[in-house]
Amino acid sequence: MTSIFNRFTTNEIINRFFKLFLVLSLIWIGFLIIRLITHFQVLSLKVICSISSLSLITASPIIIQVAMFIAVLLTVIRSSTDNEMIVWLSSGLSLKNWFNPVIKISIPISIVVLILSLFISPLAYREIDTISDNYSQENKENVYKKASGRFIEFRDNNSIFFAEKCNGDSLSFSNVFINKIIEDGFLSIIVAKEVSFVINKGNNSFISMYDADRFDIPISNTSGLNSLLYHFDNYVINFNNEFTLKNSKTKSLKCSSLVDLIGNNSLESMAHIAWRLSYFMLSLNLAFLAVPLGVLNSRKESFIKLFPSLLICLLYISLTNLVRTWIISQNISLYSGLFIPHILVMLVNLFLMTQILDLNSYIRRSTNFL
């Protein structure tokens, strides 16, 4: 009976897992494509396919964990609601027997998740970064080359650029006007006879202006500030994305290999290593936690069966991300952040199992006539 139960349950969990993984992957790719089109406005099909495929690799650890959790959860719920659970229990099996097929499936899947998070995802992040930088640089160059007689807005720097003439295929312009809001409460109007764009990968892009005049006007008339007029032989404006600058360190950690993180030996690097390693225990704990949650949810109304369990799953995943932030801010030690969240979930799982096993014993006593 045990071998039949293990084989039957394992096949059902695996089938549900692959179906859920496919559905969640398609949903992820759909949202990603919408985001790419919204962000870049114009994208070639090759770039969309490349970034989507690589982003799916980076998101696979989370998608696999959620798919595994829901697959086990739905299998337990279906077994309970179809009264199949009573048949298994009355045949001498216990709720603890559910862990045998779950272990058989979850351990290989958790190892795959660990390999993805430690080695493959950083490679994918680096490729995405390279493709995005190359496309952003090419896209900016194309936009600026066609900028003659058009207004271009630099949203991050609150600037508006207008050029009367573009000099050939180079990023050099004549008779340029720039309207820019600066931090000191002034609206700067800058005019120049000649301007050159220097667009580099990363955060070193700037506008170099020659023979420029800058007129600063107070934004508020009540500020008591006077208008100022300057003349520059050479004037440079940096048009980097502030959001990119703030998050460059996080992007660098995601793109760094395990060897680089260990060699760096900084607190941020160690916290990121702990975050990657936590995916293994996260995957195992979610698979085991789905067994008691499936039994509990099977006794509720159909429209709220999955909501509490999915909420617990998302809270657990969010907690692991929060712990990484706590480690970096030194609110918690590295080893505590690596083990405490998973130990807490294991204790919750143990508590739920003890409560359900009491119900299990009652059902077996009540159905022993079968």
Domain ranges, ordered by start, for the chain: 2-138+248-366, 147-240
Report whether pLDDT(281) > 50.
Answer: yes
Categorize the per-residue pLDDT at 242 as very low, low, confident or very high, splitting at 50, 70 and 90.
very low
Average of per-residue pLDDT values in the chain:
80
Q: How far apart are CA 53 and CA 42, in angstroms?
A: 18
pLDDT at 248 over 80: no
Rounded CA-CA distance 279/100 in Å is: 21
pLDDT of 89 higher than 80: no
Non-local CB neighbours of 311 within 8 Å, separated by 6+ positions: none
Q: Which residue type, as a one-letter code, is found at position 246?
A: K
CB 291 within 8 A of CB 348: no
What is the predicted pLDDT for the residue at 90? 74
Give the confidence band of 62 by pLDDT, cuts at 50, 70, 90.
very high
The proportion of the chain whose per-residue pLDDT surpasses 70, expressed as a percent, equals: 76
pLDDT (tens digit per residue) in 205-240 = 677 888 888 888 887 655 555 778 888 888 887 765
**Going by C-beta distance under 8 Å and a sequence separation of 6 or more, which residues neighbour residue 281?**
342
- Greater model confidence, 350 or 248: 350
How far is C-alpha 128 from the geometric centre of its chain's CA atoms?
13
Order of strands, edge to edge, in the sheet holding 151-154?
151-154, 159-166, 172-181, 186-198, 206-218, 228-238
Which residue matches tokens 């799982």? Answer: 349
Residue 344: pLDDT band with limits 50, 70, 90: very high
Q: Which residue has the higher pLDDT, 172 or 324?
A: 324
Q: Residues, the chain, total? A: 370
Q: What percent of the chain has pLDDT over 90?
A: 29
250 vs 47, more confident:
47
Q: What is the pLDDT of residues 143-171, one digit of tens each?
A: 566 556 677 776 555 677 777 777 665 66
Give me 185's structure tokens. Answer: 């409460």
Asked whether the predicted pLDDT for residue 296 surpasses 90, the reply is no
Name the more confident of 233 and 23. Answer: 23
